Homo-oligomer: A and B are copies of this chain.
């Protein structure tokens, strides 16, 4: 019996998956191990792998096989795999080679200009390159919109958040935007009335920080036979599901940030590791999208590890790791440190309460730019106006304004909303999990994370990309995305 169209596609996509895994490992090496002089040859390796992958997926027979496989009599998972194959194929074939190459050149040039512009606080230096990128992004959005049958912005969003649509996000974000300013005032009032947290005095040796991170990672379920913890300038979770590589950056004067960063990346890592091994290398076996991914890191970091329950378990381990004694090392004080809220101009430094304001601002601005209603030249003014409205603060310069994030300069448009969708999803999943299994919260308090991990494995990780994001959330929590759960979490943590 000859191979079916579907079988032939799985071979093609297995090859694509192996090449993408190779790229992931080379990216990890670039960020953690590579000497500076290796950058040009590494860029060649990565560009070649990407081109080879693109050549395989856009080969003429793939489209025919996708059509033929529809009549192959597939089961649920296979059908979902075929759907995800087609999604990848549509995204890959929607843009002509000229546009792909122009975009690659434009974003490289723009990223370089951005680095200097940010260092010099000189938005004008990056502006022409940003305008060029936006022109190409709008072309790409229009081309993909045509093929996908969605609005141009949604075509961009769909790359990061399959099935994500601005029309679904708008009301949720609008609701949050109405809720946050007043809520933030109340949180800051309450915080001002409470005793200030006691500071932890270092130095905190890096070896001890690393050992504590490893200890907590292992408790949470990170398997070092299938992963590593290393150092990089910008922390990330990379590698492959069978070899997950997370990174952090240590500060000898403050261990709290690096430690929470490690736990955040551990959340990403547990998701990757929990993807179903039977579907390795196939599109349906991949993570569902960026908002589910971010939900897994934020569930571990925000819902679990910054909670009083977790800190009751972890406080003695932290004290032990650094020889800390006294009231500053008690769980109550660590909780106050880890739930501090303030109005900050920088997204990556923002706490859980103010973070959505940063995201909503960027979501609004990028949609307006993609629609052609805001020119990059007017971005600094629009940014200041939005920050004033959403957070009540105004950046004194562009470095702490519209130059702070790499995303737009690097061509990642439609990515920002996934951060806050992820935070809301995390709250909703954790709420469902602890209602379903009453052993989860006591487990967290005693350092037994197996009940939590079991629930996540079954309801999120093992599902991979079989369901849409919306269906995954509904199956796991019994309802669609609901901002009320996130708001209730914030109220419970920051006002009670």
Q: Which residues of A contact B (CB under 8 A)?
A: 14-15, 18-19, 21-22, 25-26, 29, 33-38, 40-42, 44-45, 47-49, 51-52, 223-228, 239-243, 280-281
Contacts and interface: CB of A to CB of B under 8 A. Distances in A.
A240 B21 contact: no
A19 B49 contact: yes
Given A18-B48, A21-B44, A44-B21, A37 B281 contact: no
Nearest to A21: B45
B18 A45 contact: yes
7 contacts: A18-B41, A26-B26, A35-B228, A38-B242, A41-B241, A41-B243, A44-B281
Contacts of A242: 37-38, 40-41
A33 B35 contact: no
B281 A42 contact: no
B226 A38 contact: yes
Q: Which of A19, A224, A280 has the most CB of B within 10 A?
A: A19
A463 to B, nearest CB: 21
B19 A224 contact: no
Contacts of A241: 41
A457 to B, nearest CB: 17
Contacts of A239: 38
Contact of A34 (B38, B40, B42, B243): B243
A46 to B, nearest CB: 8
A97 to B, nearest CB: 15
A15 B223 contact: no
Contacts of A42: 25, 243
Given A25-B25, A25-B29, A37-B242, 16 more contacts: A19-B48, A21-B41, A21-B45, A22-B49, A25-B45, A26-B26, A29-B29, A35-B224, A35-B227, A35-B228, A37-B223, A37-B227, A38-B226, A38-B243, A40-B242, A41-B240
B15 A48 contact: yes
A38 B228 CA distance: 11
A376 to B, nearest CB: 34
Contact of A44 (B18, B29, B49): B18
Contact of A41 (B35, B49, B280): B280
A12 to B, nearest CB: 11
A298 B240 CA distance: 39
A277 to B, nearest CB: 10
A22 B18 contact: no
Point out which of A25, A36, A224 has the most chain B C-beta atoms below 10 A from its C-beta. A25
Nearest to A23: B22
A-B residue pairs, 3 tightest by C-beta: A38-B243, A37-B226, A18-B48
Contacts of A21: 41, 44-45
Contact of A38 (B35, B41, B44, B240): B240
Contacts of A29: 25, 29
A238 to B, nearest CB: 12
A19 B226 contact: no
A49 B45 CA distance: 11
